[in-house]
Amino acid sequence: MKALLPVFCRPMGYAVMALALILPFIMAFMGRVTDNNLLFYKECSKLLMMMGALMIIFALTKHENAETVAIRNRAVRQAMFLTVLFIFGGMLWRVLHGDIQTVDTSSFLVFLILNVLCLEFGIKKAAADALFKKNSR
């Protein structure tokens, strides 16, 4: 999977995700969150997290090469597997507790977050492997 966004979108994606995590608390402390608009703030926060994760996933790295593209592809496969495990675990939990009213609506967000984690781990692992290969010569 090729990157679509410029390099500066990667740190901007992290900033957007941090904003999505902090903004609901700030709005609650300011008294803006009520029972009437709680769902709106929840969904806006999830949307911001999705946008930030997509910016991170599709942003170029500083030294983009074929290995980075392969790492990005591997991260998508690993994130799909981990997301299926997470969703299955949630389903199993709800079945065991007899919860018929709760529905998981954040599976795409979970996929994106797991994808970002797998991508970052893969990039850092490749950099460490390259460093050790260079030092062993």
**Residue 54 near residue 112 (C-beta atoms within 8 A):** yes
Domain boundaries, position 33: 9-135
The 10s digit of each residue's pLDDT in 51-92 is: 999 999 999 998 888 999 999 999 999 999 999 999 999 899
Of the candidates 54, 56, 58, which has an alpha carbon nearest to the alpha carbon of residue 46?
54
Mean pLDDT of 39-57: 94
pLDDT over threshold 90, residue 137: no
In a domain, 92, yes or no: yes
* C-beta of residue 61 within 8 angstroms of C-beta of residue 112: no
Q: What is the 3-state secondary structure (H, E, C) of 60-84?
A: CCCCCCHHHHHHHHHHHHHHHHHHH
Does the residue 42 lie in any domain?
A: yes
Question: How many domains, in total, are found in the chain?
Answer: 1
- Residue 34 placed within a domain: yes
The pLDDT confidence band at residue 3, using thresholds 50, 70 and 90, is: confident
1 domain residue, yes or no: no
Q: What is the pLDDT of residues 87-135, one digit of tens each?
A: 999 899 999 999 888 877 788 999 999 999 999 999 999 999 988 888 7
CA triplet 19, 71, 62: central angle to 5 degrees? Answer: 60
Q: Which residues, at least 6 apart from 9, have a Cβ–Cβ distance to it below 8 Å?
A: 55, 56, 58, 59, 60
- In angstroms, the CA 11 to CA 55 distance is 9
Q: Is residue 121 part of a domain?
A: yes
pTM of the model: 0.84
